[in-house]
Amino acid sequence: MPPDTAPLSLRPEPANRDGILAIVLAYAVFAACWILLSDKWVQILFNDPNQIILAGMLKGWLFVGVTSLLLYGLMLRWIGGDTRSTALPAGSHGLGLPFLSLAAIIVMFTGAGIFHTFTQQKEEAIVRLQADVDIKARQITDWFRERQADADFIRTSDFFTEQYRRWQESGDQQSGERLQMQLEQLSRNRGFGAVVLLDPRGKKLWGNDRTPLTVAQPLQAAASAERIVRRIGPYRDAAGNLCLDFITPLTAISGPPPLVILHVDLTDRLAPILQTRPVPGAGGETVLFQRNGDRVLFLNKLKHQEETEARLPVPMATEKLLVELRNSEVYPGNPIEGLDYRGIPVIGVVGAIADTDWFLMTKLDLSELYAEAVGDVTWTGFVGLLALFMAGAGFYLLRQAQQLTLAQALQQSQTERLRALHLLAAIADSSEDPIFAKDLEGRYILFNRAASRFVGKPLEDVLGGDDRTLFPSEQADLVMSIDRQVNAENRTITQEERLNTSQGERVFLTTKGPLRDSEDNMIGIFGISRDITERKQAEAALHASELNYRSLFENMMNSVVHARVIFQGETPVDMEYISTNPAFATVTGITESVIGRKISEVIPSYCENNQEALELFGRVAATGVSTSWEHYLRELNRWFSFMIYSPNHGEIIIVTENITERKQAELALRDSEGCFRALVEQSLAGIYIIQDDRFRYVNPGFLTLFGYDSPEALIDNVSVADLVSPENRERVGEIMRRRIDGEVADLHYIFVGLHRDGSRIDVELHGRTFDYQGRPAIIGFILNITERKTAEAQLRISEERLKLALNATSDGLWDWDLRSGLAYLTPHYYEMTGYLPDQVTPDVEFFKQTVHPDDLPHVLETMEAHMQGKTPSSDFDYRLVTSSGEIKWIRGRGRVAERDAEGAPLRIIGTIADISARKAVEEALRRQTQELAQRNAELERFNRATVGRELDMIVLKQQVNELSRQLGQEPPYPLAFLDALPIPPKGTAAS
């Protein structure tokens, strides 16, 4: 039967009000969603600031357009929707309240949008600050833990402990140099500014040349007593640098341990981390500080205040932002607000540095934060004002349009509607699918039996009502929104609807379209629904299965290949790729696309070189019997493990794992075992395993050492004591027992062993415990040191002879190692110089210090000539300056004792002898000779003067006698003995 037509006489005024309310609510929902979601979608879709600005303008225009459409629909409700609504012009006087309500809604959502913009901007800034704090705090924590790990490594290092013990307890200078070199290398490699080594009393033993360090004695004592790594700082050193020290005891040394001090320059290490600035703005800043009660110590330079890093502890009460941290329940990572040291409002996030009392705070000026949101707030306010303007204009036009609808004929409209409804009722009664019709106000005017059966209500309860009387509000709103879409677009729409019915929640495929009268005027909508719940459930199950398979396929670490095997007759000759997962490229190394290609095209020589693989693939594809296989693919130089099964006849699924590393490891292990066995078997040292005082393994070297022919003669047949001399058996047994019980770390001792023929041999044994077949045993090696002991005895005799020879003479002996730069000096050498061995370093500088400055060039030139091979030896005399300033004459001799392959000297040995007494005798003789020479010269001058006068008198007398003879007189002077002598010229004798 056709439905009852009584609902058609309902009053039009409520219908118009419902329509107005629906449009207003639609506008409210749209505006709310727009304000809450549009900005987020813009941020997701765009990253460039210019694009974000353009998108903001476009979304504002779109908002205005949608608002205009809703106002247009609102006016249509009054003007052209239904002639019945115009029968009561008194309704035109009630537009003030809807307009005020709409204006209030616009203002409310505009304010909400502005508030949301500021809130969102603040939340984004907080997220950036939190990310900045988290990243930098993690970087500082990781850096701090690395330095702590370095200190712990030194604290527990057996190498550093052993080198220190050899240096300090045994006086091994080379061990001290190795220890210093390793500490210096660790300082440079691990970023420490300086390293200092202190003995257990706090005395400085060594420090590198970069900075002098001192450590407070109480802190040294605490570190030594607790035997743990302690920290000092942060503090400022003499140069004003921000420093942090790690005091590290060498705990492996019993008693008070020595200390290694590791110095870090925090300014150089933390500045690169703290100066990175992901937070924008001139006021943005990252501050690292140390909290001690109600005081903080800034550890880095503040951006707007000089000289703050570790300069002066600041009370938290003077830093208003930190007051918020003290007074409120703020946890690391949560935002805080307050005034910073500049008195400017800021927002910040504080993070704790793990394992320290340090905190990291990143802050941003609130003025900069809110300045970024001014543009969006301006646009939101502008849009709100525009919406208010358009709403006012719409309501004004609406009032004018109401006056034009009074001439419409209500009766004609009702007649056309009844005709259409009777036709729809006739069609609907014969259908098993729900069929319905609604007027333009959304009220049901047609509802067939199938529809009544689904909603569980009789026809009379449905007609005249809308969807709110049948379904929950959310579902009713969704259905009615589709109805409005049909009305607005004037077209047929097919859509799925999920509704609560008397049979539970069902899914319908609903087709809705415009319902027209004879004049093609739209008078409502019709709808036909089909229950597709079972089909949707099947589709959902299939989709879930596909998703699971696809997720497994895409995320497997192994390669998965779906392929079709190509046969010629019954012989597989090739394979075509159907699909591969992403791991295919990683596992095989083939990065190009292979889908739809043959394996012979991807790997050209595969089919010719891998017939066994093709036969295996073909057998699985033909029989469907799954298998697994490991194979080396020469073309890809990789080992693969295959699991193969067939989903369909002629097709295979290959799950592949790259096992190249495992195979290489197996081969390397096999080679290593072979090399180790060959090394053990060919070793000249005797290698053994002892368990329960019996030999469990011996190598050929061990058999040769003790004179046995085969391992069977020793293993499980001869005890350890049988190979030890009687006087050493008790000591050897006690040492082995202590090692098994864990009282000593390693075995290393010398004893006298017994050869199989009864002869005695000196042996040196090394060993340590390990688990052998689940029980403790000792493994090690043994050396025959009989010849070494003989050589040591001969060397000892030779050294005793040398010592006696050196003691028998007063000469000093020196042995200079040019590789290390150090020399060995005998006691007589130190005695001549006046220095004690612990006062000086025996190197070339000490030698130069003892040579008189006037003699040093000659001495060095003589030694250099010999070192270059120009002279067979270096012999020279020089003056030695003792520690007291005394001058001694020394006779130095030296000769190169060792050269390298290129002839460069490596070692020089020589002596020095005190020749001061001989030099004194020589000086006395020289002075006596000089005095005698002077006296002889004076005597010669005296004699020359005396004889000259006598000769002058004789010449004068001869001249007188000669003159007398010329006068005929007798010569007055008897000079007959001189007459034979010629008379020299005058003045000759006197000259």
Write out pLDDT tens, residues 320-343: 555 555 544 445 667 877 777 677
Residue 626: pLDDT above 50? yes
- Bridge partners of residue 890, in order along the sequence: 878, 914
Quick: pLDDT tens for 61-72. Answer: 677 677 767 666
Helices and strands in the chain: count of H runs, count of E runs? 27, 31
Whole-number average pLDDT of the chain? 78
And the tokens for 403?
């006056």
N- to C-terminal Cα separation, the chain: 186
DSSP β-ladder status, 285-292 and 295-298: antiparallel
Residue 758: pLDDT above 80? yes
DSSP 574-640: EEEEEEE-THHHHHH---S--TT-BHHHHSTTHHHH-HHHHHHHHHHHHH---EEEEEEETTTTEEE
Residue 781: pLDDT above 80? yes
pLDDT, mean of residues 1-22: 47
pLDDT at 666: 82
The CA distance from 555 to 557, in Å, is 6
Residues whose CB is less than 8 angstroms from the CB of residue 924 and which lie 6 or more positions away in sequence, other chains included: none
pLDDT-based confidence at residue 853 (cuts at 50, 70, 90): very high
The CA distance from 619 to 617, in Å, is 6
What crossing angle do the helices spanning 96-156 and 173-190 adopt, rounded to 10°?
A: 170
The CA distance from 78 to 975, in Å, is 188
Residue 651: pLDDT above 90? yes
Looking at mean pLDDT, say which of 305-314, 429-438, 676-685 comes out highest.
429-438
With CA atoms as reference, report the closest residue to 269 among 247, 242, 303.
242
Helices marked H in 191-233? 217-226
pLDDT-based confidence at residue 672 (cuts at 50, 70, 90): confident
Residue 845, phi then psi, degrees to nearest 5: -65, -40
Residues whose CB is less than 8 angstroms from the CB of residue 571 and which lie 6 or more positions away in sequence, other chains included: 618
pLDDT-based confidence at residue 805 (cuts at 50, 70, 90): low
What is the amino acid identity at position 915? Answer: I
pLDDT top residue among 613 and 104: 613
Looking at mean pLDDT, say which of 383-392, 401-410, 901-910 comes out highest.
901-910
Distances in whole angstroms, Cα of residue 182 to Cα of each of 142, 206, 208, 245: 24, 12, 11, 19
pTM value is: 0.35
The DSSP letter of residue 721 is G
pLDDT at 409: 57
pLDDT, mean of residues 566-584: 91
Range of weakest confidence among 316-320, 439-443, 508-512, 720-724: 316-320
The CA distance from 92 to 77, in Å, is 13
pLDDT at 126: 81
Quick: pLDDT tens for 120-161. Answer: 777 777 887 778 878 888 888 888 888 888 888 888 888 888
Q: Say if CB 719 and CB 693 are below 8 A apart.
A: yes
**Sheet strands side by side (includes 285-292):** 314-315, 295-298, 285-292, 358-365, 345-352, 335-339
**Long-range contacts of residues 302-311, Cβ cutoff 8 Å, at least 24 apart:** 302/341, 304/341, 304/342, 305/341, 305/342, 309/242, 309/267, 310/234, 310/235, 310/236, 310/242, 311/236
Question: 567: buried, middle or exposed (CB in 10 Å: 19+, 13-18, 0-12)?
Answer: middle
The DSSP letter of residue 843 is B
And the tokens for 967?
């006068």
DSSP β-ladder status, 571-580 and 504-516: unpaired
The CA distance from 56 to 354, in Å, is 43
Phi and psi based region of residue 941 (left: phi greater than 0; alpha: psi -120 to 50; beta: remaining): alpha
Element spanning 544, H or E: helix 533-555
pLDDT-based confidence at residue 908 (cuts at 50, 70, 90): very high
Q: Say if CB 441 and CB 82 are below 8 A apart.
A: yes
Distances in whole angstroms, Cα of residue 378 to Cα of each of 28, 56, 108, 118, 385: 21, 11, 16, 12, 11
pLDDT at 173: 86
Helix (H, G, I), strand (E, B) or coil at 561: strand
DSSP β-ladder status, 887-899 and 874-881: antiparallel
What is the amino acid identity at position 112? Answer: A
Range of weakest confidence among 23-37, 575-589, 845-859, 904-918: 23-37
The CA distance from 780 to 176, in Å, is 29
The CA distance from 580 to 505, in Å, is 40
The CA distance from 960 to 982, in Å, is 14
Residue 466: pLDDT above 80? yes
Q: Say if CB 843 and CB 823 are below 8 A apart.
A: yes
pLDDT-based confidence at residue 889 (cuts at 50, 70, 90): very high
Residue 571, phi then psi, degrees to nearest 5: -100, 125
At which residue do the structure tokens 């005698």 appear?
Answer: 932
How many CB atoms are located within 10 Å of the residue 453 CB? 14
Residue 252: pLDDT above 70? yes
pLDDT at 855: 92
Domains of the chain and any CATH numbers:
141-265 (3.30.450.20), 271-370 (3.30.450), 431-535 (3.30.450.20), 549-663 (3.30.450.20), 680-791 (3.30.450.20), 811-922 (3.30.450.20)
The CA distance from 710 to 702, in Å, is 10
Residue 88: pLDDT above 50? no
pLDDT-based confidence at residue 1 (cuts at 50, 70, 90): very low
Residue 984: pLDDT above 60? no
pLDDT, mean of residues 405-420: 61
pLDDT-based confidence at residue 991 (cuts at 50, 70, 90): very low
pLDDT at 12: 40
Range of weakest confidence among 87-96, 114-123, 414-423, 545-554: 87-96
Residue 792, phi then psi, degrees to nearest 5: -65, -40
pLDDT, mean of residues 294-308: 70
Quick: pLDDT tens for 913-959. Answer: 888 888 888 888 888 888 888 877 777 776 776 667 677 777 777 78
Secondary structure string (H, E, C) spanning 458-495: CHHHHCCCCHHHCCCHHHHHHHHHHHHHHHHHCCCEEE
DSSP β-ladder status, 651-658 and 559-568: antiparallel
pLDDT at 214: 56
With CA atoms as reference, report the closest residue to 463 among 491, 448, 444.
444
Quick: pLDDT tens for 682-740. Answer: 777 888 888 888 888 888 888 888 889 888 888 888 888 888 999 988 888 888 888 77
The CA distance from 612 to 634, in Å, is 13
At which residue do the structure tokens 């290129």 appear?
Answer: 902
Q: Say if CB 260 and CB 299 are below 8 A apart.
A: no
pLDDT top residue among 277 and 753: 753
Looking at mean pLDDT, say which of 443-452, 535-544, 571-580 comes out highest.
571-580
And the tokens for 877?
């005399």
Q: Say if CB 242 and CB 298 are below 8 A apart.
A: no
The CA distance from 631 to 634, in Å, is 9
- Bridge partners of residue 206, in order along the sequence: 197
pLDDT-based confidence at residue 210 (cuts at 50, 70, 90): low
